Amino acid sequence: MEDKRFVQKGTKPHNVSIENREKMSITGVVNVISFDEESVIVETEMGILTVRGQGLHINKLNLDEGQVSLDGEIINLNYSEKGGLVSKSGGFISRMFR
């Protein structure tokens, strides 16, 4: 049963799947805020998701479909509310294509 508190009309479903703490798939991604080998920070339909680990690499990035896949040693996941972390200038990807 879907929790109606978080689902807004027009939003994509948000899911996180982790395989053996080595591979991760995220849907409902709106923007990639930043990434390096130790952290990946994405804005999702449910808030800001920070993935911390070692040797993290983004394998697939499709913002049109809201999908990100990454691999590496996944150590920690943390959600925070939208607004506090994203600057008004946009995320990493939007700055890259200016």
Indicate whether 96 pLDDT > 90: no
What 3-state class would DSSP assign to 13?
coil
Cα(79)–Cα(10) distance, integer angstroms? 21
> Half-sphere exposure of residue 2, counting CA atoms within 13 Å on the CB side?
8
DSSP state of 48: E
CA 46 to chain centre: 10
Domain range list for the chain: 27-82+91-96
Indicate whether 97 pLDDT > 90: no
pLDDT tens string 63-73: 999 999 999 99
Cα(57)–Cα(94) distance, integer angstroms? 19
The percent of residues above 90 in pLDDT, for the chain, comes to 68
Cα(19)–Cα(23) distance, integer angstroms? 5
Q: Which CATH class is domain 27-82+91-96?
A: mainly beta
pLDDT tens string 12-36: 899 999 999 999 999 999 999 999 9
